[in-house]
Chains A and B, each alone.
Chain A
Amino acid sequence: MTDPELALIHAFARGEDAAFVTLYRTYRDRMVGYCTRLLGDQARAEEAAQEVFLKLYRARTSYEERGHFGTFLYRIATNHCFNLRAQLDQRLVERKYGLDEAAHAAGHDPSSLLANDELRAAISSALSDLPDKQRAAFVLVHHQGLAYRDAAGALDVSESAVKSLIHRARETMMRRLGAYLSEPNEVEHAV
């Protein structure tokens, strides 16, 4: 935990709501992005992100320092989204097929996808194909910028498990989005 966050969480635990608002402002966008990528639906994700902050508010007196504050918050968000996802699984599956059709109907030109805001739909669809833990690990590390160790803390798994989850997630993503990728010919640069 960084020092400013440590001070904020202590102030918040003492009942200083201003400290909570600062934490909220710091993590608001990250939580919305994380929940959106886990749930695949921004409106639902915004509700979920708000609920995560309310859970944090309720837990102010029971917070235990066991690592970064961000890891703690991501753990709340992960569990909340997994629960929501389990409840809404069938509806999300139906939505995913709708997105697949939209992405294919637009053709495979990345520029046209960008212009029509369909790249996000294609990526969201590919993310939806991933099992929950792979998706969460991938989003935490790739989109949220967490180190493997912190992602492991948020998911309550080992660091080597995160390595494996990321590898499998990225393999699946590459297969699912393969149509949007040009032929691999930059091996030297990649290595």
Chain B
Amino acid sequence: MRCEAIQEAWLAARYAAEAPAPDVSEHVASCSECRAFAAGQTKLDGLLAQEQPITPGLGFDTRFFAKLDAERTRSRTRRALVWFAPLGLAAALGLAIFARPHEAPALPPLEDVALVQDLELVEELPMIRQLDEVEAFETLAQVDTADLDAVLREATP
């Protein structure tokens, strides 16, 4: 546990570019584990220092500023919406109140529409039309001819 705290303090001093505190230095000098740790960490820094710096690739700025432009446009649109949305809403309400559209005729229930459509289809059938004619003939056949004669006599001067 003590070694871990010493090593942490040793690293902190190294990153702060300061000499380790005297008790830390004394411990490292006398402790084989901490000595090995310090030596290994120094080597590690040497290896890490050989790494090439990372730089943005070609076109990074162009891509970013294109995204920024899009962001600005979106931002302006949002601001415009915030300002104009209430005006638009008011205008829509005004139109609704002062220029009411003609009331649309009430539509029949869906079942009725279906029934009418079925009937229209049925009327298209020639046989149904013939049946209608037969029915009209039968109605005429049932008329009493004596009654007809009487009507005709009364009508004739």
Contact = CB atoms under 8 A, between A and B. Distances in A.
Interface of A: 24, 28-29, 32-33, 36-37, 42-43, 46, 49-50, 53-54, 57-58, 110, 114, 117, 119-120, 123, 141-142, 147-148, 163-164, 166-167, 170-171, 173-174, 177-178, 180-182, 184-187, 189-191
Q: How large is the interface on B (under 10, 10 to 19, 20 to 34, 35 or more residues)?
A: 35 or more
Interface string B33-62: 001111111111001101111111100110
A117 B54 CA distance: 12
A63 to B, nearest CB: 16
B44 A173 contact: yes
Q: Is the interface of A mostly helix, strand, loop or mixed?
A: helix
Interface string B1-32: 00010011101100110001000010011000
Contacts of A173: 44
Contact of A182 (B9, B20, B43, B61): B43
30 contacts: A24-B64, A29-B53, A29-B54, A32-B54, A33-B54, A46-B60, A50-B64, A54-B67, A58-B71, A110-B47, A119-B50, A119-B51, A120-B52, A142-B48, A148-B16, A166-B12, A170-B44, A171-B37, A178-B40, A182-B43, A184-B40, A184-B43, A185-B39, A186-B42, A187-B38, A187-B39, A190-B28, A190-B38, A191-B20, A191-B25
A162 to B, nearest CB: 9
A187 B38 CA distance: 7
Contacts of B54: 29, 32-33, 36-37, 42
A174 B44 contact: yes
